[in-house]
Chains A and B, each alone.
Chain A
């Protein structure tokens, strides 16, 4: 069958699916086409669609004939990406497994604390790491030297490749943790229990049952993480630059922020093209590996009863390890952030306490644009996350459950969004909405639409979630007379709820801290908090910038708690 394998979609179903496909293709293909076209438009000092711009291969020649690319950029990038992805995965999987599959104490609190680095704009996080691990005056280094009786600088140095990998991994762990925890939460333990009953050790069960079952759920985050690491530029710029580390993303940054004249978008797009190629290759690998989807079905109509694994004597050591991790990656940077907001850049000492004040918070709250920026932020992040989650769920369903003609193209289009750097997406949106005869440019709606190009995350997550569910549940609904929309509402969405909520939380957080798109498309009418934070930072008002960052966290944490509470009772394990 074409669109639907099971029951008919009906007119309303067809309309919903059709609208979702058209919207998704529109949201992603505009920046995608822009990226490809821009790579072939020149000369350097012209915008891609200026009247005198012309087609050229000059950007590709400039970038790919440059020996620096092969001697410096590619080796540095490979080391950085492989190191970061491996570290991120080991840490994120361990934490997600402990939180979602075991009886680890204080799971909800740990869940939120693990997400902390995701809540903080990367630039603020990088500065916190420099504060803590700077070789001369980093708080941790000063404490270690004092404890160990060492002199000179160090012993830890954030400005090295291992330092950069560690910082980037910590920044990425929450993202992968959210994806992994969604997968682990919806996995039925029936196979693990059967393995244990057959006498297999926990390690054997983990290796021979848990890991293979989770393979599709792990591949998606792995591929996404590799691509997202490739795109990261703030951490390499702030922590990697002093170590003379040059990666692909910093090269894009330099092309977009040239020392003279206008940004060279063509060269930036030429550097970004391999992201798309790599993304498509990885997508091919992914699809090949998960072709036999039924092997991974763990949620069926019979006995879906998730249960937690008792850690026994390892419960408290595991808890200590998790607390140590969140202490270093969540609590210490939070302390730095709060300290700067209360005191400024000075080192904490007994003498500094009298000068601690809430003045920065007062300045921020009394700023005439603060309330508007807060409302705009919540509105844009919430609406774009909701739009992308719904679109991703429907597209994920089409990809996982139908044999619709052209769905391979839909798959590629939805996934390709991870290969588009935000700045290119921003430029594309700017050109598009300036040209369209609708009054969207300069409003919050242009931000909502532009933020929504990140479809890959929710499409992948929904598809993985659906692959773990047998179609018998939907078939049962259809046999009982349920229309497709009813099945979607009463069967698919409730079962996918943990995945969808994880996706919403992730995208909401990304939306709240999104800076590049908001800056490019910014106007006095759509100012958001991340842009306000950046303005304070550029202004030298570090306390105010840190106060805004703290307020962003205060804004996001309750959302995470509430959403997790909404989902937890339905997914809580016996």
Chain B
């Protein structure tokens, strides 16, 4: 083998080794000195406490994180009112939590009270676009709205590809929607359509289509055939329910809103190094891929490399992302539209 051929071979092998990591853009953190030092300090702390909204968002973390960084126990608490609880504990001088993992909307009141701490996301291979709120919140994943249906009772070809399509008479008495999620979806639609049209849509869904508005688990209502299609459910939920053996599938519409989730360390975290280590790891592709595989919730922002993201793009629906620019307007809209959904305004 000539010298030049040898160099080429070495270069190709190096490229082959480096390429998958380079493609992911996050190869360095596995060998980074900063991360190694952080891990050593975190291991001395022994545990990390994370709060979030749902068990599904938190329970999966320990195993893959423990494999990557052994010796650190992840203690989690799931509570939709975690933001209030956290603020109250901080006001009382109790600092027992290291990390907060929530939707952007849940992060804001906590951030306003200066409870979120600063973090360096760059050592994990993240760029400025991967963090919000002055770099305090590292972005983890999105939950994307679509329709979910019982595939034993409805054929995919029969489903409309627009939200308005569900106002056709054939869907009367066959739809269900979450009282929590539907107003949020309507808020996104109102940004695109205008508030009046979104309000008309909400009234038509409820009054004309007799949509079952409920706080009960929709998967049960769908599976039993009490209703056939859930309007405004998450794509990831359909995949998760299917993985549990339920006959569920999701369908795209012309507009698919995506809620943004993130993670932040807290000021006065009792385990500051473990907090930074876990927060940083949760923004890596390794964690995102694991979350996507186990929990079906993925970072679907352009360029994320997510399989679910690719699937959504292939279905043709336009994804509208929640960000700080549209959050406040959307929140005001869905608060007003919620009154229609709950029947407080008729």
Contacts and interface: CB of A to CB of B under 8 A. Distances in A.
Interface in A430-454: 430-431, 434-435, 441-442
B23 interface: no
A242 to B, nearest CB: 5
Nearest to B214: A242
Contact of A47 (B84, B94, B221, B227): B84
Interface stretch (B7-15, B241-249, B274-282): B241-249
Contact of A72 (B88, B89, B343): B343
17 contacts: A72-B346, A131-B224, A134-B224, A136-B225, A238-B215, A241-B215, A244-B346, A246-B342, A250-B342, A259-B183, A259-B184, A260-B332, A260-B335, A344-B245, A345-B217, A524-B75, A535-B55
B96 interface: yes
A146 to B, nearest CB: 15
Interface string A216-244: 00000000000000000000011001101
Interface in B63-115: 75, 77-81, 83-85, 87-89, 91-94, 96, 105, 108-109, 112
Contact of A345 (B85, B173, B219, B346): B219
A163 interface: no
Interface stretch (A174-182, A380-388, A536-544): A536-544
Contact of A238 (B87, B112, B216): B216
A540 B226 contact: no
A47 B88 CA distance: 8
Nearest to A130: B216
Interface stretch (A91-99, A496-504, A515-523): A515-523
The 10 A-B residue pairs with the shortest CB-CB distance, nearest first, are A434-B92, A244-B343, A345-B220, A345-B223, A260-B331, A134-B226, A137-B226, A137-B225, A535-B55, A539-B55
Given A434-B88, A539-B56, A137 B224 contact: yes
A261 B109 contact: yes
Given A68-B344, A434-B88, A262 B223 contact: no
Interface in B198-234: 206, 212-217, 219-221, 223-227
B223 A346 contact: yes
B161 interface: no
Contacts of A494: none
B290 interface: no
Contacts of A73: 344
Given A138-B226, A259-B338, A538-B54, A242 B213 contact: yes
B196 interface: no
Given A261-B109, A344-B223, A345-B217, 18 more contacts: A72-B344, A137-B224, A137-B225, A153-B173, A238-B214, A244-B343, A263-B81, A344-B246, A345-B224, A346-B223, A434-B88, A434-B94, A535-B55, A538-B55, A540-B241, A540-B244, A541-B244, A542-B217
Interface in B299-346: 331-332, 334-335, 338, 342-346
A45 B83 CA distance: 12
B51 to A, nearest CB: 11
A390 to B, nearest CB: 31
A68 B344 CA distance: 7
Contact of B88 (A135, A238, A431): A431
A542 B219 contact: yes
A556 interface: no
A292 interface: no
B89 A522 contact: no
A322 interface: no
B179 A523 contact: no
A196 interface: no
B142 interface: no
Most interface-central of A238, A259, A263, A347 (chain B CB within 10 A): A259
A177 B91 CA distance: 44
A434 B223 CA distance: 44
A251 B342 CA distance: 10
A522 B51 CA distance: 12
Most interface-central of B55, B109, B216, B338 (chain A CB within 10 A): B216
Contacts of A297: none
A500 to B, nearest CB: 35
A519 B79 contact: yes
A246 B335 contact: no
Given A50-B91, A241-B342, A520-B81, A45 B109 contact: yes
Interface of B: 54-56, 59, 75, 77-81, 83-85, 87-89, 91-94, 96, 105, 108-109, 112, 173, 179, 183-184, 206, 212-217, 219-221, 223-227, 237, 240-241, 244-246, 331-332, 334-335, 338, 342-346
A126 interface: yes
Interface string A54-81: 0000000000000010001100000000
Interface in A306-364: 340, 344-347
A18 interface: no
Given A72-B343, A136-B225, A259-B183, A538 B219 contact: no
A540 B345 contact: no
Given A50-B91, A539-B54, A130 B84 contact: no
Contacts of B87: 47, 262
Contacts of A246: 342-344
A212 interface: no
A30 B237 CA distance: 42
A140 interface: no
Contacts of A481: none
B62 to A, nearest CB: 10
A49 interface: yes
A427 B213 CA distance: 29
A159 interface: yes
Contacts of B56: 538-540
Contact of A262 (B83, B331, B338): B83
B94 A540 contact: no
Contacts of A135: 226
Given A68-B345, A430-B85, A540-B56, A261 B216 contact: no
Contacts of A347: 224-225
A430 B88 CA distance: 8
A258 interface: yes
Contacts of B219: 345, 540, 542
B77 to A, nearest CB: 7
B272 to A, nearest CB: 20
A130 B173 contact: no
A540 B237 CA distance: 9
A47 B91 contact: yes
Contacts of A244: 206, 343, 346
Given A127-B220, A241-B342, A344-B246, A431 B212 contact: no
Interface in A441-473: 441-442
Contact of B221 (A72, A130, A435): A130
B173 to A, nearest CB: 7
Interface in A101-141: 126-127, 130-131, 134-138
Contacts of A72: 343-344, 346
